Chains A and B, each alone.
Chain A
Amino acid sequence: MQYVIVGLGGQGILFSSKVLGQIALSRGERVLGSEVHGMAQRGGSVISHFKIGSYHSPLVRAGEADLLLAFEQGEGFRNLHFLRDGGMLVVNVHQKEALENERLRSYLDSRRIGVRAIEGYEILKKEMGGRFLFLNVLILGALSATVEGGVSYDEVKQAVAELSPERFRTENLKVLALGHEALQG
């Protein structure tokens, strides 16, 4: 299973690969991933690679990812080439009309790429008083509601509980449930 996780520096992308790693390790599987630190991390486009299974290299080759997890829609669209045909994009959208773009639709259809979109900012504004730092956990909730994501809600819940700092644990679990519910059904 190969994941590519994209977004903007400061959105908490590293936490999601930690959660995926924790899950894989508890299943007894090998994990390998690649992260971005330093100047490249400051507010600009960032990309994390994450592989579960028997691999040598931490990088996912374009056209090989099973799942693209995007914290920001523009970053998600820009990195669609990482997905394999038939792969899945789980994306946080703030201007969802972009998903109706005809050219984009025809590209996605031609490659049989599925899309699950969550309006993360709207949810956090409504439910969490606009504390957008919870976006990373919300998206993990959305991922756990997607069969193609390869991780169950219970697994994610346990890993988030283990990895959350004490003072954020309760709220993180609440937000995780929000993300899961938003994409369920």
Chain B
Amino acid sequence: MLSKRQILLGNEAIARGIVESGCAVATAYPGTPSSEILPAVAAYADELGTKTAVEWGINEKVAFEVAVAASFAGQRACAVMKQVGMNVAADGIMSVAQFDMAGGFLLVVADDPGPHSSQTEQDTRFFSMFAKLPCFDPSSAEEAKRMVFDAFDLSERHRIIAVLRPSVRVDHCRQDVELGDVLDVPNRAEFKKDPKRWVCLPAHVRLSHPRLNAKIDAIAEEFESAFDSYNYEVPASSKPKLAVIAGGVSFSIVMDILKAMGRTDVAVLKIGTPFPLPVRKVEDFIARHDNVLMLEETYPVMEMQLPDRTKIKGRWNGFVPRAGELLPEIIEGLLCRALGEERPSRSDEALKAALQELKVTPKPPALCPGCPHRASYFAIHKALPAAIHPSDIGCYTLGINQKMVDSVICMGASVSQGSGFFLAHHVDGKEQPVVSAIGDSTFFHMGVPGLINAVYNRHAFVLAILDNRLTAMTGGQSHPGIGEKLRKGDEGVAVDIVSLIKGCGVRHVEVIPAYDVTAGAQAVRKAWQFARENRTPSVVVFRHPCMLLRPRQDRISVTVDREKCVGCRYCITNFNCPGLVFDDEAGKARIDERFCVSCGVCRFVCPHGAIVAVGGEEA
């Protein structure tokens, strides 16, 4: 029996739990902060020699549906996604919530309070309540791993999907965690045909919905008493001045602050199962205290389940900010305010003044030096400076630094927005160039339906597919365009993106090397001409591997010719590379060799020819 501690990322701890639980099918679509879970499932499955099928789905809906059918067949299965991915998968989740599952099913959904890398800071615990699914909310990596086992077990006993909601601070914490062996679960694939059970006809729902209510009631009872390792009280050792109810990482933060402050007069109730809330347990705690603070991220989900909220200082009445991450500094302030005490002063005015004098400001995220997207955006700008630019979810959202991103909604929406911008102008009899930008993985995820829709309805715009050969923003995962799979020995098949585009009915497609900005600009002009003449979408695929892949490519060292540079900042505004900066004192651009990767693309950017190869242009 293997038993040792190892430092794991929270996501690796969850993955380890999934493999040790005997999960047979695990699927996901990458999305921060969940992305590291599935590759770690594959690695542990390889290491422990399990048969687990581990696959990236084309999107979260597909990933969920693949895994959930494995559960119908009796296997333990799980699907992993980020919180906005759950929106994509919601259609399937809402239906299956009412099913009487066969194999245990774990839905891992990672939340991003802040948010750090998301377009919303929605709360999966709230979504679980909406779907009437039990939800576990871990406070640490170690607890998240334990919860995986209990979630599978609860799921199997009550024949219901169990949700594990780690938030970003659990996903991306690093902690020493105990490793174990793989459980011997008896599950085998054995699908029992039963239309009443597996077909969501309205007639069946009339039975399954009340059954779901009964399941949730029974689980609520269990959460009242049988899950004391997740729901427990840390009593005050002297007469309590304050009682705190907290879940998730907020609980961990409170515990550290109380210890650092040396407080013995604050009682804490930790809740690890926020839905269905063990209401009696919480009410009993509230009844024993006068001053109650409730800390949860990000919606008042536990609070909303309490019939009487009059005593509670929480997110509902705005005592706790109604948005944003509960960072230690914020929680410290809330604890002091709830205790009616002055917060220890920590004036950083002197530091602020120094930072101002030194011109130190936070650096926002930017495309990497050498990133092909920067070159593609520059080519699009050159071709059609007056175009509208809907963009999408991925690294290339950072094209906003080049003023090349006008609107972003969600995965795949750049394509459908292209249609909407076309129609808005078309009904006025106007012709407006529109160039939508989408990454290769995002195109496969949800861009394809929008493109078929645009062909069918005859919408004239250009779709630029920025094909960097992987899912970059989330750390470089594979996708159908590449065809690589996660488990050792698994072989996939690559789906050719150009054939797919043509199959959608697109009549004009051109593939361009992204670094060739002259050819890129020409291709965009040609594509727009075809689109408007034929009233149809056309596509330009800009291709170059992502810098994360460390591609072997020519190194072209560049320098700024100080004689030729007129200080117009054109390169800074329109190209915006970390390796190319403006020297305020000299009033000229210069190369910052700390960041420049010698891709050489900026040679084609300066309208005055001031950016040149070191030692002159090669033959």
Contact = CB atoms under 8 A, between A and B. Distances in A.
Nearest to A22: B7
Contacts of A63: 346
Interface residues of A, number: 52
A150 interface: no
B367 A43 contact: yes
B174 A43 contact: no
Contact of A64 (B172, B260, B327): B260
B40 to A, nearest CB: 13
B255 interface: yes
Contact of B357 (A22, A55, A56, A103): A103
Contact of A32 (B174, B329, B354, B357): B174
B contact residues, range: 35 or more
Contacts of B358: 74, 77, 98, 101, 104
A101 B174 contact: no
Query: Does more than half of chain A's interface fall in helix, strand or loop, or is it mixed?
Result: mixed
A41 B615 CA distance: 35
A60 interface: yes
B395 interface: yes
A80 B351 contact: yes
B131 interface: no
Contact of A38 (B116, B139, B353, B363): B116
Interface string A24-57: 0100001111111111111111000010000111
Given A31-B175, A39-B32, A132-B594, A58 B169 contact: yes
B576 to A, nearest CB: 11
A61 B256 contact: yes
A17 interface: yes
Contacts of B360: 74, 77-78
Contacts of B236: none
B139 A56 contact: yes
A156 interface: no
Contacts of A77: 351, 354-355, 358, 360
Given A43-B365, A44-B365, A35 B328 contact: no
A34 B139 CA distance: 13
Contacts of B397: 39
Given A41-B365, A74-B363, A101-B358, 18 more contacts: A21-B7, A31-B176, A34-B172, A35-B173, A36-B116, A37-B35, A37-B474, A38-B32, A39-B32, A39-B365, A42-B367, A42-B368, A44-B366, A57-B249, A57-B256, A103-B354, A103-B357, A104-B354
19 contacts: A32-B173, A32-B174, A34-B169, A38-B35, A38-B474, A39-B32, A39-B117, A39-B397, A43-B368, A45-B362, A45-B364, A55-B256, A56-B251, A57-B256, A58-B174, A58-B249, A62-B329, A78-B362, A130-B593
